[in-house]
């Protein structure tokens, strides 16, 4: 999927259908002098329902749908015939979509299961026909109820990707290159910062036909909390990842310092993200000789305070060990 087709945030105005009016019809038939009231009920207005669809990966299909309206209910008619119910309007979304009230920004619901439905705008009830109001003292009521208006609400749909591993790192740390090597994904790779402007997903094929999903998130820079770079806009995509893989290049001026900066930006976005399992991959390590690597290990063992390993996506070094460690971390509770 191209970057232009990845849409993870849309605002929509939804309106449910109005209920149909009840009928005030009086029965008229040959040889029946006083048939009495026989007006039917109005039909219910259509609902607007958000539904999870595991085959969708983005909100692109909703990019140009700013207004969604359900059908109005039909009016009642003679012989106690009820009006037709308005057809419901379904908004299909990928799993991991959060529904917010646009005005208050309050989370209304989260869709995390395939086929799961949530009613965001309930259709108005249909009015009752005049036959409901017949009594011994009022045998010919000539009135009925109007239908109840539908509901209108502005909602925001916000996608949080459901991936197992989230890649975290500064721009040009090698995240896209790693994703392209260990999965079949084809992210944009170039020798300048912020080549990744949208999250990319890739499926890692592990031993015995097992798989896990990795999400490449656009690079974070120091000060992202204040809006520098592209800010924290895409960090929501790793809120549901169980494991975070920090990628720091071997030629970084200070690996421990860069790791602490990344941790601080995550902490400022959402402190709970620091509760996730973490692994550090020192990328571009093919430029290190054995002596320099040993020297770096002594330094990292003292200052890093987190598990790490050396990898090179281009030279295909350490990738099998990386997959093994990630699989271990993802399945440690079940083992």
Q: Which of 160, 190, 225 is the last residue of a domain?
A: 160
Ligand-binding annotation for 210, yes or no, is no
Unique residue bearing structure tokens 């502005």: 154
Each residue's pLDDT tens digit, 67-85: 999 999 999 998 889 999 9
Ligand-binding annotation for 98, yes or no, is no
Question: Domain limits at 3?
Answer: 1-160
Ligand-binding annotation for 195, yes or no, is yes
Do 170 and 153 have their domain in common? no
What is the pLDDT, as a whole number, of residue 335?
A: 45
Do 72 and 149 have their domain in common? yes
What is the CB neighbour count within 10 angstroms for residue 155? 23
Query: Is 177's pLDDT higher than 80?
Result: yes
Do 173 and 154 have their domain in common? no
Ligand-binding annotation for 176, yes or no, is yes
Q: What order do you get walking across the sheet with 97-101 strand by strand?
A: 67-69, 9-15, 152-159, 97-101, 107-111
Report the sign of the C-alpha dihedral through residues 204, 207, 210, 212, in that order: negative
What is the CB neighbour count within 10 angstroms for residue 253? 6
Unique residue bearing structure tokens 């520098």: 228
Q: Which of 113, 142, 160 is the last residue of a domain?
A: 160
* Mean confidence (pLDDT) of the chain: 84
Q: Write the burial class of residue 304 (CB in 10 Å: 0-12 exposed, 13-18 middle, 19+ buried).
A: middle
Ligand-binding annotation for 334, yes or no, is no
CATH number of the domain bearing residue 70: 2.70.210.12
pLDDT band at 3 (very low <50, low <70, confident <90, very high): very low
Ligand-binding annotation for 41, yes or no, is no
Ligand-binding annotation for 212, yes or no, is no
Ligand-binding annotation for 284, yes or no, is yes
Ligand-binding annotation for 39, yes or no, is no
Ligand-binding annotation for 216, yes or no, is yes
Q: How far is CA 277 from CA 75, 161, 216, in A?
A: 59, 18, 17
Do 17 and 113 have their domain in common? yes
Each residue's pLDDT tens digit, 189-240: 444 344 444 677 788 888 888 888 888 877 565 554 455 544 455 676 677 7
**Which tokens is 193 given?**
């910062």
pTM, full prediction: 0.70
Ligand-binding annotation for 75, yes or no, is no
Cα–Cα distance measured from residue 130 to residue 147, given in angstroms and rounded to the nearest whole number: 13
Q: Which of 128, 143, 160 is the last residue of a domain?
A: 160
Helix (H) or strand (E) holding 157: strand 152-159
Ligand-binding annotation for 138, yes or no, is no
Do 22 and 140 have their domain in common? yes
Ligand-binding annotation for 198, yes or no, is yes
Ligand-binding annotation for 172, yes or no, is yes
Do 213 and 105 have their domain in common? no
Do 214 and 255 have their domain in common? yes
Do 133 and 280 have their domain in common? no
**Which tokens is 332 given?**
């440690």
Ligand-binding annotation for 54, yes or no, is no
Do 326 and 185 have their domain in common? yes
What's the structural domain count of the chain? 2
């Amino acid at each position: 999927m191209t970057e232009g087709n990845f849409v993870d945030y849309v605002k929509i105005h939804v309106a449910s259908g109005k209920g149909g009016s009840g009928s005030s019809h009086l029965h008229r038939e040959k040889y029946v002098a006083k048939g009495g009231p026989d007006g039917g009920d109005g039909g219910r207005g259509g609902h607007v329902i958000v539904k999870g669809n595991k085959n969708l990966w983005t909100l692109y299909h909703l990019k140009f749908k700013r207004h969604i309206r359900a059908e109005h209910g039909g009016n009642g008619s003679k012989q106690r015939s009820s009006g037709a119910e308005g057809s419901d309007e379904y908004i299909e979304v990928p799993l991991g979509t959060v529904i917010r009230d646009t005005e208050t920004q309050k989370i209304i619901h989260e869709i995390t299961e395939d086929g799961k439905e949530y009613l965001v705008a309930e259709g108005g009830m249909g009015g009752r026909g005049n036959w409901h109001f017949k009594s011994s003292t009022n045998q010919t009521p000539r009135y009925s109820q109007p239908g109840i208006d539908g509901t209108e609400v502005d909602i925001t749909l916000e996608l949080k990707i459901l991936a197992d591993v989230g890649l975290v790192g500064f721009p040009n740390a090698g995240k896209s290159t790693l994703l392209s090597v260990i999965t079949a994904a084809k992210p944009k790779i170039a020798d300048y910062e912020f080549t990744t402007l949208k999250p990319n997903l890739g499926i890692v094929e592990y031993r015995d036909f097992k798989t896990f999903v990795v999400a490449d998130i656009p690079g974070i820079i120091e000060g992202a909390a204040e809006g520098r770079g592209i800010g924290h806009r895409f960090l929501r995509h790793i809120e549901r990842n169980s494991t975070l893989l920090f990628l720091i290049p071997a030629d970084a001026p200070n690996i421990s310092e860069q790791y602490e900066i990344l941790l601080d930006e995550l902490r400022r976005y959402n402190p709970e993200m620091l509760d996730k399992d973490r692994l550090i991959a020192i990328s571009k390590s093919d430029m290190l000789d054995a002596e320099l690597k040993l020297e770096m290990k002594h330094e990292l063992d003292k200052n890093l305070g987190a598990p790490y390993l050396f990898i090179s996506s281009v030279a295909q070094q350490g990738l099998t060990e990386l997959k093994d460690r990630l699989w271990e971390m993802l399945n440690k509770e079940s083992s």
